[in-house]
Amino acid sequence: MSVHLLGVRHHGPGSAKRVLRALEQLQPDIILIEGPLELDPLMDYVADPELLPPVAALIYNPKNLHQAVYYPFTHFSPEWQTFQFAVANAVPLIQMDLPQALSLGLQEVPDKLKALQTEEPDEQLQAIAYDPLGYLAQLAGYTDRERWWEVMFEQSGEDTAVFESILDMMTALRTEIGDNEQPYNLIREAYMRKTLRKAIKDGYQTIAVVCGAWHTPALADLKAYKTKDDNALLKGIPKIKTKATWIPWTYNRIANSSGYGAGVVSPAWYELLYDHRQDATIHWMAKVAQLFKKEDLETSSAHAIESARLARTLATIRGYALPGIEELSEAVVTVFSGGYESQLQLIERKLIIGDKMGDVPASIPIIPLQQDLQGRIKRLKLTKYKKAETVWLKATSTRPKGGLDLRQAFDLEQSQFLHQLHLLSIDFGKADIATGRELSTKNEYWEMCWLPEFAVQIIEAGMWGNDVPSAAVSWSLHQAKKCTTLVELTDLLQQVLKANLPDAIDELLQELRNIAAVTKDVHHLMQALPSLIYLHRYGDVRNTDLSMVSALLHEMIPRVCISLTPASCGIDEEASQVLFGLLLAVHKSIKLLDDDDHLQTWKTTLIGLSNTMGVHPKIRGAATRICLDSEILELEQITQTLSLELSAVNAVTDTSNWIEGFLYGSGLLLLHHGVLWQMIDDWVSQLKDQHFQHILPTLRRTFAHFSPPERQKMLQLVKNGVVKSKNTLQTTLHPDRMKVGLPTLQLLLGI
C-alpha cells in the first residue's frame, strides 16, 4: 500500500500539469481530493461538455441563504483536471475536506475553535501560518508570493519529483510555527486524516491525495496523530443541512483582486500557460495586438513580435524560465504604448484578469424561479448580455449607450423585466441615473452585467414566488409593511410602477394613503410630494392607472400649503437648509401638475412666506425669488421688499440669509435688474468691518453657486461702478416700420 501526496497551488497551471502526469504514472486505485463531501453529487456533471469552466460549486443552507460558500474551478485548476481524470478513467474520487455541513455547524459552536487556540500565541508565527507562501517568498527575496510560486513551481516543467520538495518545504515550515496553526485548519486536517484512514482500511493499494501544499505535512505520517484525538476534534459539531449546485463563474472572481483568498493575479495569463506553455508569450502579445486594433490604437504584427522578444529577454536577465505578468506588461508599455502606461488598465481588464465566464448545462436541477428567469431572458433576447463584461443594452456604433424606447412594446417589456429583477436585488441591468434625465423621458439606458453572486440571490428570491413577476409582487408587499414613512413607501411605489406590477400597485397606494392620513410632519409630506407628482404626471408613459395618486395629491397639497408657513417660523440654520431644499423641490414639481387650483393655492402660500416676518429669512428670500421668477409679484414690489430687508434695523445675519435664499441658483437676476444689484451693492458697501467678516461665509456660499461667466460679469460691474439695467424696454412703436414686418408675423402665427 502506498500513499502519494500531491501538494498543489490552487488554480496553478503548473500544478495541474504535474498532477495529471503523476496520476497517469501512478494509475491510482482511488483519489482523495481536498473538497467537501457536498461536491460528490456534482461529479456526475463533470463529463458534461456543456459544463464549461470557470464554474463554481455553490453549497448553501436552504434555510439561511447567508450561509453560502463557493468553490471555484478553472480549466487550469489542479482539482478540475483531477475530476476530469477520475471520470475519464473510472477511478473512485473521494472528497476529503471537512463537509460544509460541519463547517457551517462550527459557526454555532464558536467555543470549540476558541478552545484550540494557543494560550500564548506568537504573532509572528501566526502570521506565517496565515500566509505561509508569502513568508517563503519573502525569504527568497520576492515581494509577491504568487510570482515566487510561479517561478519555483509553475514554470519549471512537469517534473513530478517536485511534490517531494513541496512536502519537505512545508514540513519544515510547519515545524517552525509549532502550535500556532489556525484552529479551523486543525479540524479540517483531522477530517482529512479520517478519510485517508478509511481509504487505507478499505484496502486500496495506490492512493493519490491531491490537496493544498500546506496540508501535506498533516497527512504524511498518520501515526503521528492519534485517531481518538482526531475524533475528539470532530465531536460535538452540529450538522447543517445543505444543498449544492454548479453555477457559472468568472475570471474576475478568481483574481485575487476580487478578495478571493486563493485567487491568482492573472487568470487569463495562467490559461495561456496551461494551454500553450512554450508559446504563451507570443500568444499573449498577439491578443494585445488584437485588443489594440479593436480599440483603434496603433498596432501591428511587428509590435507583437518585438514585445514578445523583449519580455523573454527581461525574463532571461532576471533568471526566469518564462516571462511573468511584470515582464509582459513592461514589454507592452515599451513597444506598444511608447513608454506610456495609459493603456495598461485596458490590458489588465481584458488580458491579465480576463473577462471569461463559464456556463452550466440546462440538465442541472434548478428552482422554478430560476427556470422562469432563464426563459424570460431568452424570450426578451437578453441572453447575449449574460456575461461578465459590462455593456450597454442595445448599444451600437452610432449609439454607444444604446437605450430602450418605452413607447415600443418590446422595449417596455424589457424595461419592466429588469426593474422586476432590481426589486429582487438581482441587478442584471443597472439603469443609468448619472445623466440627470427626469422620469418624463421615454428612454432608458441600462448597463448590463451578469454576476456569479446572482445564483444565491435567485435562490433567495425563490421563496417569494415561482416566477419573476409574482416573486417581485410578494417581495414588494412584504417590504411595504416595513415602510414607516411616506418617502420610503413612495420610493417603493416608483419601483413597482416601473416594474409594471398591477397586483401590488393598488395595495401600495392604499397603504400610502393610510400613512399620509396620519402624517403630521410637513417635512415628510414635502419629501414625498415631488415623487407622487412625477408619478401622476408621467405615469401614462407606462400605461398605468394612477387615479388614486391624483386623489392623494388633492389631499396632500392643501395640507402642505396650510402647514408650511408655521413650520418655517422659529427654526435654526440647519432646519432652514433642509426646508429650503424641500421648498424648491415642491415648487418645481407643483408646476408640472398644470392644475390651476393647486397653482393658485401654492402662489398664495408663497406670498404668505415672503411677507411673514416670523419665517426664517432664507425661506422668505427663496419665496420672494420664486414669486419674482413666476411673475406672482412685480419688480416694483420686489424692490420694496428688498429695501425693507436691507434696512439697518434688521440683523446683518438675517439680511445675509435672506439674500442667500433670494439669489439661489443664478446670478442673472442681478445682472438683468440693475436696481437690485445697486441696492445690494450699497448695502454691502455700508457694512462695518466686523459685520462684513461675520457674514462673509454666507455671501461667499451664495456667490459660489453662480456660473463663472456670471461671477466674471459681476466683477466687471464692481470695477466699473456703473450698472445699466436691462429691465427697461423701448415701448414706442413706429407704425410704418410695423407694417413691414406684420405680414411675416401673421404668416408665422397662422393668422
DSSP state, 238? P
Q: Taking 90 as the threshold, does the pLDDT of residue 52 lie above it?
A: yes
- What contacts 674, CB < 8 A, 6 or more positions away? 723, 724, 725, 726, 727
Radius of gyration of the chain (CA): 36
Q: What is the pLDDT of residue 727?
A: 45
Higher pLDDT, 540 or 695: 695
Output the pLDDT for position 747: 77
Grid cell 456533471 is found at: 45
Estimate the crossing angle of helix 617-629 against helix 596-611, to 10 degrees: 140
β-partners of residue 454 are: none
- Please tell me the predicted confidence (pLDDT) of residue 732: 61
**Cα 292-297-298 angle, rounded to 5 deg:** 100
**Where are the alpha helices (H) located in 318-408, listed in sequence order?**
325-335, 344-347, 368-379
Distances (CA, A) of 742 to 301, 423, 730, 737, 750: 70, 59, 19, 9, 12
Which of 290, 343, 32, 13 has its CA nearest to residue 155?
A: 13
- Stretch among 17-26, 261-270, 374-383 having the lowest mean pLDDT: 261-270
What pLDDT, on a 0 to 100 scale, did the predictor assign at position 687? 67
**What pLDDT score was predicted for residue 729?**
41
The reported pLDDT for the residue numbered 437 is: 44
Mark out the alpha helices in 442-539 (DSSP H runs): 454-461, 468-482, 486-498, 502-518, 522-538
Greatest mean pLDDT among 62-76, 186-200, 507-521, 624-638 lies in 186-200
pLDDT at 161 over 50: yes
User: Which pLDDT band holds residue 71 (cuts at 50, 70, 90)?
Assistant: very high
- Mean pLDDT value across residues 424-446: 73
Collect all residues with Cβ–Cβ distance below 8 Å to 88 and sequence separation of at least 6: 47
- Beta strand pairing call for 93-95 and 30-33: parallel
User: How far is the C-alpha of 531 from the C-alpha of 728, rounded, in Å?
Assistant: 40
Nearest to 253 by CA among 48, 42, 450, 499: 450
- Cα–Cα distance measured from residue 421 to residue 413, given in angstroms and rounded to the nearest whole number: 12
Q: Is the pLDDT of residue 61 over 70?
A: yes
Residue 435 has pLDDT above 50, yes or no: no
Predicted confidence at residue 741, as pLDDT, reads: 80
Residue 92 has a CB neighbour count (10 Å cut-off) of 13
Q: Which of 487, 481, 580, 564 is nearest to 529 (CA)?
A: 487
More confident residue, 281 or 638: 281
The mean pLDDT value of the chain amounts to: 84
Domain map of the chain by residue range?
2-258, 278-354, 368-464, 568-751
Rounded to an integer, the average pLDDT of 314-330 is 88
Cell output for 362: 440546462
Least confident of 196-205, 668-677, 706-715, 724-733: 724-733
Where is average pLDDT lowest: 15-19, 301-305, 540-544, 660-664?
540-544
pLDDT digits (tens, 9 = 90+) for 408-423: 999 999 999 999 999 9
SS3 671: helix
Q: What are the tens digits of pLDDT across the range 653-684?
A: 888 888 888 877 666 666 666 666 667 766 67
* Cβ pair 501, 523 in contact under 8 A: no
Cβ density class 282-294: b for 16+ within 10 Å, e for less: bbbbbbbbebbee
Q: Given CA atoms 49, 51, 52, 57 in this order, what sign does their dihedral have?
A: negative
User: Residue 459 is placed in which grid cell?
Assistant: 435562490
Cα distances (Å, whole numbers) of residue 31 to 3, 26, 221, 494 = 10, 11, 18, 56
Q: How many CA atoms lie within 13 A of 350 on its CB side?
A: 17
Beta bridge partners of 58: 70, 245
* C-alpha cell at position 287: 491578443
Measured CA to CA, the distance from residue 440 to residue 664 in angstroms comes to 25
Q: What percent of the chain has pLDDT over 90?
A: 30
CB-count burial class (<10 Å; 0-12, 13-18, 19+) for 719: exposed
**Res 683: pLDDT:** 66
State the average pLDDT over residues 727-741: 65
CB 674 within 8 A of CB 725: yes
Other Cβ atoms within 10 Å of 506 Cβ, number: 11
Q: Which residue has the higher pLDDT, 553 or 193?
A: 193
Q: By C-alpha distance, which of 518, 536, 516 is closest to 526?
A: 516
Mean local confidence (pLDDT), 306-326: 89
Interatomic CA distance for residues 40 and 38, integer angstroms: 5
CB atoms within 10 A of CB 122: 14
Q: Supply the pLDDT for residue 88.
A: 93
User: 163-167, 251-255, 523-527, 729-733: which range is least confident on average?
Assistant: 729-733
